[in-house]
Structure 1
């Protein structure tokens, strides 16, 4: 079942039914979080509003790809330890029994065969132990792991590109220069020097295996991978020689004659057979181990298969090799089961804390890939989230500015962006000392860093600056802040971080050429969008924290002007316009911010232009609705903004918009707020135009329901105050609706909404206001209300009224702007009129 009811199997034998309330089109176009309170969301609720059920059975016990490697390492370790045990036994047998007991009586060939076998076995054992060490060492450095050529190619290409750009820039400025241009270029070089100094790689105090100069002119011989290959082939040759010598002696059985009665030679043949058998078994087991190794690594391509399943990509082979050798080392050097306890996530976390940049990069890549993999992200983020040291390390990496560490920094930012998606983890991340400052370091604004003195200076700096991907870090930093801002406490920390809010607001800056040009990168628009999303979330924060944030945001001089530019030039980007408008709506909760928005030139005009713009496609009508909500808030209890709106001459358009399904709810709100202000000002004449809306309003009250009916009731109570009794009677004649029918409808509304829902919190208030006007307009209407049971309904209102009906606007579940006239006072006024009649 979908839409009206969703039936799903949760996987535990039970079924969950999700009931979705049907909404009328008018309700959809009038949804708001300002004029109605917002219910607290369930922590188990998903982004789309559905409730997340328990994870499917078996998801926690799913076998991860690296288990193939740990099992492979276990089997290799078993063969290795058996072979080593046999070799040890054979060595002891030879030294104690044969060479110790029969050395004098041994045949000459046996003596030398045993001696050679022991020597080559000793060589093999020595090579084996050190081969594992050098193989392991080869994976410590990405350079030694075969990536050196790619890194050199990238470095050389960057160098060539840098040189070509420098030549191009120098040829551009080869013409004679004025004194001002020479000063400008001098300042540019100074800025370039500062940038280069900031990006200069720090010296390291440790050696990597590829840097150790054991021999000055044969450095390649001592590369880890070359040494391990040498030891590998040495073992194969030793084992093959051992097999050959042992087989020769076991087949020929030429151990010499054993004379009768010679006790010294009585057990010599058996002892030699045992030794050669042990040597043969050990060598055969070793060769079997190597064959098993080669089959899985070379032919079956186990490492490549695991890398593919982990979705690590081409660079992932370094991580897979390093993990495998670590697991194999633990199985060989310790218990054979030690390697089974390893997993790639814990392995990556260990490498992340290493002092080697290569190991840090390997660890960051592992965690990044698993955090982005839908199959393993939950377990990965859970393990990272419970490790405070790892999270602190990730936060610390955000501050790294060295270009050589760019990938590590980017990977750390991507992991933290995934980590912040979980509420518990977001609280832990924000709770790390200095976390917000580290996230702020990801945000680089060129406008704030480089003075826009001249086009030449900017081009020169771009030519000489390092190729550092600032836009990616900007996007990641804003994404992390966006996810952290979902929590109320984190919003306060973001606002309290020095210099962070101005940085975010600076990303909202959009020039006309950026918004209207066709040639614009997706990242440029995405940066603006994410900055708007973060500011929107901060501005809509509830409670005292939200109030302080809204004030701080509105006090930054670029906030409103940046949004105005988006409204003015962003017709191709309605999503950006909608976000900017929603920020204005939230800021309008404060009186000072409302005045700042109103007095910023062109903001109200642009909002009305968007609100009335019929050329906007129907799929993008949300931006028109958002504009209407913002205007309704800006004219709410703001005398100066009401004057500004009336000067724009939009009353007639607002009256006409009452018939538009998209605009009528917010048009009614705007008109009601204008009327509530106009009766006590000198704009009474201008607002007389609103009386033309009376027939539409009365018809809507009689025919509509829910939110549209509520706003029309509120508007009717104000519109009729601008009309005489004769004019109001003409309205009822024009619509064909009798006043008795309207009175009956008001009683029905009060009976239906004994407990007003969240979507229509003011419907009873507006109903009573309209009833009071009707009784004051004509005394005979008092008898009509008496006969309909108005007094009983008013007494019921007194008994069932709540704080929900006492406020005009809401911030979440917190009521703001309490009504000047309480609903109890309205009830007393209505009862007094009924008593006088």
Structure 2
């Protein structure tokens, strides 16, 4: 009989004191560099041992702290193995036993409990079980506070607490950028829900902080590079908050300084160009009448957007095509923003012209996308196609005097679009 087998027997069939001794032996072997792998492999194939270790997590006697700690360490090591995750959560009451560690008055047990939950949450089904465990999410959220010991103990809506605790994390200058990024990821995920999106927008300062992190001012180039991941996440959160919520869109525009010129400038930054385009597209798509004048500034980025359409692919291409379509109502046929008239003051002729422009743009962009999909591989480019105006009807050849443009057209619809709005002049 090996020492691991002896410890297994003590845990599964022994008395209370013998179970404590067995757990102490297992944790000593599991923490040993020499015997760790063999010990964990032996435990993994013993379902009764795993069940008893899970049960030990919920022991709450003052004299049983060491036993709980030993069991928690072993379970934490076991959950690092993917094959054991489903076996652990398949034990009745396993999530509740792990959750009990979060309520212990010992920081080490709290950390072990969070560590086990973090590993279990890598599986989608486990996430569902964790979310349905009563009070567990509320307790996890309380640990995201900088000083959770001073947090209010009165029960509150979990989504509001998540927003406020995440905001505290971002405002604290001493926390690492990784915490900033994780906090913003939480907000982005919460913002997928309509009600949560409204709550986030109503929480004072959230939108302003996100804008400040997305477009930081006063940073050197080197400092900006260290926060690229945070800036991208902040942009994703802002884009999500702007979806189908007029109040949030107004908050974003005001946080940007009452206009969108900063977003237009962000189109020149390769790190956040996609996020900036998504934010601008959502602002234009769902903005109310009161924000039409500030949003006219999006037309300043038309040239950059159209250049991106000619070179980008797949998801990025679809984002810029969507942004280009949303820009059209803010543009005159000459390519300049409409000035002097609000949306409600536009003349009937202008309204008809804008509606016609929308239909034209839809057709142009549809043909553009079709042309992009039908393009041959780069090593099989077609020969240049000559486009002329006013050719001699009696001969097939074009006169040099009547040839206006001679070029290779990668996307004929894009050329028509540029010519129509005067962007080639």
Q: Give TM class, smaller chain.
A: 0.7 to 0.9
- Separation in 2 of the partners of 1:600 and 1:662? 28
Are 2:246 and 1:610 equivalent residues in the alignment? no
Cα displacement (A) at 1:643: 1.9
Are 2:133 and 1:442 equivalent residues in the alignment? no
- Tell me the alpha carbon deviations over residues 342-370 of structure 1, each in whole angstroms, 9 at most, x when there is no partner: 2222222112232253x434422332244
Question: 1:662 pairs with 265, 271, 276, which one?
Answer: 271
- Trace 1:769-780 onto structure 2 (pairs within 5 A): 778=420
Question: 2:293 pairs with 673, 685, 694, which one?
Answer: 685
Q: The residue matched to 1:438 in structure 2 has which SS?
A: helix
Cα displacement (A) at 1:380: 3.1
Q: 1:368 to 1:604 in 2, by over 3 A?
A: same
Counterpart for residue 193 of structure 2: 590
Contact residue 302 and residue 327 of structure 2 kept, 8 A: yes
Counterpart for residue 285 of structure 2: 676
Contact residue 566 and residue 576 of structure 1 kept, 8 A: yes
Contact residue 259 and residue 294 of structure 2 kept, 8 A: no
Question: 2:27 pairs with 368, 388, 391, which one?
Answer: 368
Cα displacement (A) at 1:610: 0.8
Q: The residue matched to 1:401 in structure 2 has which SS?
A: coil
- Trace 1:425-436 onto structure 2 (pairs within 5 A): 425-436=84-95
Q: 1:471 to 1:773 in 2, by over 3 A?
A: farther
Counterpart for residue 392 of structure 2: none
Instruction: Indicate the RMSD between aligned Cα atoms, in angstroms.
Output: 3.4
Cα displacement (A) at 1:670: 0.2
Counterpart for residue 481 of structure 1: 117
Counterpart for residue 182 of structure 2: 579
Q: Of the two, which has the highest radius of gyration?
A: 1
Counterpart for residue 302 of structure 2: 694
Cα displacement (A) at 1:705: 4.4
- Separation in 1 of the partners of 2:254 and 2:111? 42
Q: 1:671 to 1:708 in 2, by over 3 A?
A: same
Q: The residue matched to 1:613 in structure 2 has which SS?
A: coil
Contact residue 398 and residue 442 of structure 1 kept, 8 A: yes
User: Structure 1 residues 694-703 or 501-510, which shifts more?
Assistant: 694-703
Counterpart for residue 721 of structure 1: 329
- Tell me the alpha carbon deviations over residues 447-499 of structure 1, each in whole angstroms, 9 at most, x when there is no partner: xxxxxxxxxxxxxxxxxxxxx6x111111000111111112222222122222
- Tell me the alpha carbon deviations over residues 672-726 of structure 1, each in whole angstroms, 9 at most, x when there is no partner: 1001123x53311110011111122122223444554443222222123310111
Counterpart for residue 638 of structure 1: 245
Counterpart for residue 568 of structure 1: 171
Question: 1:624 pairs with 231, 234, 238, which one?
Answer: 231
- Separation in 1 of the partners of 2:276 and 2:370? 26
Q: 1:366 to 1:586 in 2, by over 3 A?
A: same
Cα displacement (A) at 1:408: 1.7
Cα displacement (A) at 1:439: 1.2
Cα displacement (A) at 1:772: 10
- Separation in 1 of the partners of 2:92 and 2:8? 20
Question: 1:504 pairs with 140, 155, 160, which one?
Answer: 140
- Separation in 1 of the partners of 2:331 and 2:234? 29
- Separation in 2 of the partners of 1:746 and 1:398? 58
Question: 2:15 pairs with 355, 369, 372, which one?
Answer: 355
- Tell me the alpha carbon deviations over residues 233-269 of structure 1, each in whole angstroms, 9 at most, x when there is no partner: xxxxxxxxxxxxxxxxxxxxxxxxxxxxxxxxxxxxx
Contact residue 509 and residue 562 of structure 1 kept, 8 A: yes
Counterpart for residue 460 of structure 1: none
Q: The residue matched to 2:302 in structure 1 has which SS?
A: helix
Cα displacement (A) at 1:381: 3.0
- Tell me the alpha carbon deviations over residues 126-162 of structure 1, each in whole angstroms, 9 at most, x when there is no partner: xxxxxxxxxxxxxxxxxxxxxxxxxxxxxxxxxxxxx
Q: Structure 1: where are the runs of 5+ without partners?
A: 1-341, 446-467, 515-523, 525-552, 730-738, 755-769, 780-837
Contact residue 365 and residue 413 of structure 2 kept, 8 A: no
Q: 1:398 to 1:651 in 2, by over 3 A?
A: same
Contact residue 651 and residue 690 of structure 1 kept, 8 A: yes
Q: The residue matched to 1:400 in structure 2 has which SS?
A: coil
Q: 1:572 to 1:728 in 2, by over 3 A?
A: same
- Separation in 2 of the partners of 1:659 and 1:430? 48
- Separation in 1 of the partners of 2:11 and 2:171? 47
Q: 1:576 to 1:361 in 2, by over 3 A?
A: same
Aligned pair count reads: 349
- Separation in 1 of the partners of 2:244 and 2:318? 19
Q: 1:617 to 1:363 in 2, by over 3 A?
A: farther
- Separation in 2 of the partners of 1:640 and 1:415? 50
- Tell me the alpha carbon deviations over residues 773-816 of structure 1, each in whole angstroms, 9 at most, x when there is no partner: 9679959xxxxxxxxxxxxxxxxxxxxxxxxxxxxxxxxxxxxx
Contact residue 368 and residue 413 of structure 2 kept, 8 A: no
Cα displacement (A) at 1:404: 3.0
Q: The residue matched to 1:501 in structure 2 has which SS?
A: helix
Alignment TM-score, normalising by the size of structure 2: 0.73
- Separation in 2 of the partners of 1:491 and 1:701? 39
- Separation in 1 of the partners of 2:413 and 2:203? 40
Q: The residue matched to 1:727 in structure 2 has which SS?
A: coil
- Separation in 2 of the partners of 1:771 and 1:684? 28
Q: The residue matched to 1:510 in structure 2 has which SS?
A: coil
Q: 1:753 to 1:432 in 2, by over 3 A?
A: farther
Contact residue 138 and residue 158 of structure 2 kept, 8 A: no
Q: 1:377 to 1:749 in 2, by over 3 A?
A: farther
Contact residue 299 and residue 336 of structure 2 kept, 8 A: no
Contact residue 236 and residue 275 of structure 2 kept, 8 A: yes
Alignment TM-score, normalising by the size of structure 1: 0.39
Quick one: higher RCO (CA 8 Å, sep 6+), 1 or 2?
Answer: 1
User: Structure 1 residues 561-570 or 629-638, which shifts more?
Assistant: 561-570
Cα displacement (A) at 1:384: 2.0
Question: 2:374 pairs with 740, 751, 761, which one?
Answer: 751
Contact residue 365 and residue 411 of structure 1 kept, 8 A: yes
- Separation in 2 of the partners of 1:431 and 1:645? 45
Counterpart for residue 203 of structure 2: 600
Q: Structure 2: where are the runs of 5+ without partners?
A: 150-155, 338-360, 378-411
Q: 1:773 to 1:436 in 2, by over 3 A?
A: farther
- Separation in 2 of the partners of 1:711 and 1:600? 29
Q: The residue matched to 2:244 in structure 1 has which SS?
A: coil
Cα displacement (A) at 1:657: 0.7
